[in-house]
Amino acid sequence: MNISEITIRHVQMEMKSPFTTSFGTFKMRDFLLLEAKDQDGTIGWGESVAFHSPWYNEETLKTNWHMLEDYLIPLILHKDIEHPDEVSEIFSHIRKNNMAKSTIEGAIWDIYAQKTNQSLANALGGDKEKIEVGISIGIQNSIEELVDLVDGYVKEGYKRIKVKIKPGWDVEVMRTLRETFPDVQIMADANSAYTLDDIDLLKQLDAFDLMMIEQPLASDDIVDHATLQQHLQTPICLDESIHSLEDTRKAVELGSTKIINIKIGRVGGLTEAKKIHDYCMEKEIPVWCGGMLESGIGRAHNVALTTLANFTLPGDTAGSSRYWEKDVIKPEVVSENGYIHVPKTAGIGYEIDREAIDSYTVDKKSYV
Ligand code: OSB
Ligand code: MG
């Protein structure tokens, strides 16, 4: 591979319904799409999952654009690259900025899969024909509204229901859900809304047979998570705390986590995601693929990653129609009775809808 041109687009897509976490509400999803062109004309796509504001992590759409334009793109353009695993090595002297790095790396994986005439899933080493999907539900105005939503998603066949929690929207919410849906796989995601002072409150969640509690404590705190896990029966699953294989190893060795949520952007790309997957498989730590309210392009990458063997728990990669009126790929990602069928065509496996992308583009720049 030898990349001769890269185009970055800032796209803005309105969410079908607002999504509220413990750190804020998303109505409009702003993100970057990256199009890389190989010298033979093959085109690959990547998505930056960084948000408009630094709530989930320190990266933003603008910091990603800056990193891409000033550091990452110049390191990639016109360089011979044999395999996409080389990209993270090329970037290794640049600290963090994982979502920016992942944006380019994803496009290179897409090109590599096309040039070797295989699906991205196969290129990564995955072989599932379909993947199990769960759904993540934001904080609602009332428990009644939440119960109605969950009921609808359970009827649609989603394999696991994840509910966002925060102080004041936790124990009673989970109690009601467990009572109303005794047989459904339920979990909670706190997005770092608690501290060790909340141990007694968090222990009350043990009564509800949750699959796991995701990221209860601070994003940079794997030590307190180990302490908390000693007091909880419910398994802890780390999300925000995991940026690399090294973070994963430390969290597993400390006993801070029993399950890992892998997000491609957060760990700097598919190569690192695969390494975390392989390490967790060896340690018998199940993993699942997290979501960042992606467009079809990021979603397609998530689908491909989820085909790896140790993605044994349903992830957050729901169908496109849960988020968007019209996605940027054709066909869009469809969840049928809680399964997504993995495309078999070369590359990310979905066609790019350029008309749709153009209609969402608010800014654009090419680099040669
Ligand atoms: O913590 O997993 C998270 C959305 C925005 C920011 C962080 C998270 C989430 C989700 C939604 O849970 C996942 C999705 O449906 O894409
Ligand atoms: Mg999370």
In terms of domains, do 156 and 277 share one? yes
In terms of domains, do 256 and 148 share one? yes
Please compute the mean of the pLDDT values over residues 6-17 and round it to a whole number: 97
Q: Closest residue (by CA) to atom 5 of ligand 1?
A: 292
In terms of domains, do 346 and 357 share one? no
Would you state the torsion angle of the CA atoms of residues 291, 292, 296, 297, taken in this order, to the nearest 10 degrees?
Answer: -100
pLDDT value at position 314?
97
- Domain holding 196, by residue range, is 122-351
Instruction: Say whether pLDDT at 23 is over 90.
Output: no
Backbone φ, ψ for residue 190 (5° rounding): -95, -10
In terms of domains, do 145 and 290 share one? yes
- pLDDT 10s digits, 51-82: 999 999 999 999 999 999 999 999 999 999 99
Instruction: Say whether pLDDT at 232 is over 90.
Output: yes
Mean pLDDT of the chain: 97
In terms of domains, do 144 and 230 share one? yes
Query: Is the C-beta atom of 316 inside 6 A of ligand 1?
Result: yes
In terms of domains, do 69 and 165 share one? no
| Best residue for ligand 1 mutational test, from 16, 21, 299, 333 (most atoms within 8 Å of Cβ) | 21
In terms of domains, do 346 and 358 share one? no
Q: Say which CATH number the domain at 170 has.
A: 3.20.20.120
Per-residue confidence at 283, pLDDT binned at 50, 70, 90?
Answer: very high
In terms of domains, do 38 and 164 share one? no
Q: Say which CATH number the domain at 17 has.
A: 3.30.390.10
* Tally of domains within the chain: 2
pLDDT value at position 65?
98
In terms of domains, do 41 and 66 share one? yes
Q: Closest residue (by CA) to atom 8 of ligand 1?
A: 292
pLDDT value at position 177?
98
- pLDDT 10s digits, 257-272: 999 999 999 999 999 9
- pLDDT 10s digits, 237-253: 999 999 999 999 999 99
